[in-house]
Structure 1
């Protein structure tokens, strides 16, 4: 199967418009139509319903989106792996939840770059379910999660414990139980449950955000409060743009590295994980 057909399908599925897709892909509209037709003929199904005024995905089209993304990712990973082979490097595929990248992994990647000369990095962001599946299928060498899976073939190591402090843009903020304009950040089920229990009498959160970096930027601009990692807010606290609510509970969020027990890259995986210098950040 030609990967340009999948790329074209994903662009049309995103825009639901052949002309706009052709402009985004820098090809003619007739080329887009031809590629979609070739893909439909190859699969033996219709991917788009053309009977209405506006283009719609068929049930089969919806099902193809996930597989198309996975196939294109694996193709990119394969090209990268084969390309670095001639330079005698080893590819290390790193997968993580988006929020964990911001908390601990950015600096860790720099340490790999400085200390492991023969390693070429390939990174991506996934949901927890996708991370577990991709480690088992060897698409990802090391996965980082808040809640590790209990699977016999996987090794789990705790790499960090991250304190989450309640910070606010209001210098006169008195008590931690007054959560007006509070932004709820998704740190996983255990932290969410603790927060709901300890602040059950407080107003509901104004916003819910999946990434601490987005929540930080939001409250700096719009005002409000959120539980955020200390290292992410340190400079803003020092500049009196954020204030730590000392009376509020501090949540600890553990981060785990997960990898395949019988991976051929076990030695380099252990070296990479060993670059985490301490457990509390």
Structure 2
């Protein structure tokens, strides 16, 4: 199997446009079309339905997408494993949702690397929708996220608790409704959405919807509005008078979890990394212990 054919297939699937896929791959449009036809010929099945300005996957294409992602991820991992130098004995693939990178991992990835010279770390930003599939097909060793996937083959444990507080750019006036100045919706996982609907059902349509806390914070500081952000992230701008906490709305707590495949051949290294992360979180946040489920 030519992996370039699979890469081209996935790029067309992502862009839903042969011309845009060609631009992204630095190919001609005819070359992209030729690769797709070659792949369809090898599989004896059409992969796309082609209408003007509307390219969709066929049922066969839908089934191939999962396999193509797994094959390419496994191939990348194989190349990296083979390329490990003599000072490294294992490669660990860590995936986390964008918000978890923002509030937990971005500041700790350097410490992980420096404390584990024998480990080569592959760090990825992944969407919650693909986490379970990546763990099950072994193209991801460790996932760190808000809502752990539920599958018999996957284990998980709680790593940290995050307090989300509503903050606003302007000083809060009596009887004011801060979200009328611009509601910024930050995606903190499924449970957050449920809690938000239960406590604040009258929120307007957001002026910005993002899965990055850093993007939301920058937007608030430059454009105003209000959003739920981690207390640890907004303490400094609040102390400097740049943000104000909205006190008459509930604080929402979210738990961050680690998840892994129970039969992962790197399980011992994963356990060491999780213990290290837990220790760092405990030092930073005054928490102790790793509650394993």
Within-5 A mapping of 1:1-281 = 1-49=1-49, 53-54=52-53, 56-59=55-58, 60-84=60-84, 87-174=87-174, 178-180=178-180, 181-200=182-201, 202-207=202-207, 208-276=209-277, 277-279=280-282, 281=285
Write the distance in 1 (CA, Å) between the matches of 2:175 and 2:118: 51
Change (3 A) 1:105 1:28: same
Aligned residue pair count: 279
Tell me if the contact between 2:162 and 2:255 (Cα under 8 Å) persists in the aligned partners: yes
Unaligned runs of 5+ in 2: 286-293
Partners of 2:176 and 2:149 lie apart in 1 by 33
Q: Secondary structure at the match of 2:238?
A: helix
**Aligned-residue offset at 1:116:** 0.6
Distance in 1 of aligned mates of 2:77 and 2:250:
42
Instruction: Confirm or deny: 8 A CA contact 1:176 1:247 kept in the other structure.
Output: no
Shift of 1:228: 0.2
Runs of 4+ in 1 over 6 A off after TM superposition: none
- CA shift digits 1:185-229 (9 cap, x unpaired): 2222332222222223x4434344333223223222321001101
Distance in 2, Cα, partners of 1:56 & 1:147: 32
Q: Deviations over 1:137-165 (max 9, x none)?
A: 32221111223345444332211111111
User: Alpha carbons of 1:132 and 1:173: their partners in 2 closer, same or farther (altered >3 Å)?
Assistant: farther
Contact 1:48 1:55 in 2 (8 A): no
Distance 1:152 1:37, change over 3 A: closer
> How big is the shift at 1:175?
6.0
Q: Which moved more, 1:171-180 or 1:133-142?
A: 171-180
Residue 87 (structure 1) shift: 4.7
* TM-score between both structures, scaled by the size of structure 1: 0.84
What value does the CA root-mean-square deviation take over the aligned residues?
2.8
Counterparts of 1:17 and 1:138 in 2: how far apart (Å)?
30
- How far off is 1:91 after superposition? 0.5
Question: What TM-score results when the alignment is normalised by the length of structure 2?
Answer: 0.81
Q: Distance in 1 between matches of 2:212 and 2:266?
A: 30
Separation in 1 of the partners of 2:26 and 2:275?
45
